[in-house]
Structure 1
């Protein structure tokens, strides 16, 4: 293997690592925000009856945070390369480049990993 090819592989690995770290930090920030809520508010959320919606549950699209959390878990499980390939398979360089309408399909593919 040439030195140039090796250097390019290192660059690719560093980019994947940076993306994984960004995803991890985002997931940790969301987790801290949830756990920082006052106890009364958390208890109120638990006791609150679910709202009845007129739309079916399937029509609700996952959020960027939902998708990011799933992909972060996969990345932490050692599947960084597969996660990156999944994102690029949707024609994007990063997760936020993927259209919201494609999130259910992305999550379905992520479940297969």
Structure 2
């Protein structure tokens, strides 16, 4: 993954964390301010991670391929029913990246 896309993902995660902290602080302030209401605190909508893009997935797979794991990358694509990345269903990008992360990581 390129440094810019990693940075963009990190910034988005920080923003999501900041929003969650703000919500928690507001809830605690209301809870301990003595201004209790009969209504239950409103549950915020769950924060959704932004959908992965073809370019983000391509960046990770190209790094693995350049590191000498081209055959393993091809096997992964076939696992998801494709001969090339553009044929992979975008709903499988996250799982594909999880699988790709272990390529080359001997444990």
State TM-score, norm by structure 1: 0.51
Question: Which stretches in structure 2 are left out of the alignment for 5+ residues?
Answer: 5-14, 20-44
Counterpart CA distance in 2 for 1:55 and 1:99 is 24
Task: Kindly indicate which of the two structures has a greater share of residues assigned to helix.
Answer: 1
What's the C-alpha RMSD, in Å, of the aligned pairs? 2.8
Deviations 1:14-73 (A, max 9, x none): xxxxxxxxxxxxx9xx99xx8xxxxxxxxxxxxxxx697x76243x22100000000000
Gapped regions of structure 1 (runs ≥ 5)? 1-26, 35-49
Looking at structure 2, the residues matched to 55 and 93 of structure 1 have their Cα atoms a distance apart, in angstroms, of 35
The answer to which structure, 1 or 2, has the higher relative contact order (CA under 8 A, 6+ apart) is 1
TM-score (norm 2): 0.53
Q: How many residues align?
A: 69
Write the distance in 1 (CA, Å) between the matches of 2:66 and 2:59: 10
Which protein has the larger Cα radius of gyration, Structure 1 or Structure 2? 2
Q: Which runs of 4+ in 1 moved over 3 A?
A: none
Which among 67, 77, 84 is matched to residue 87 of structure 1? 77
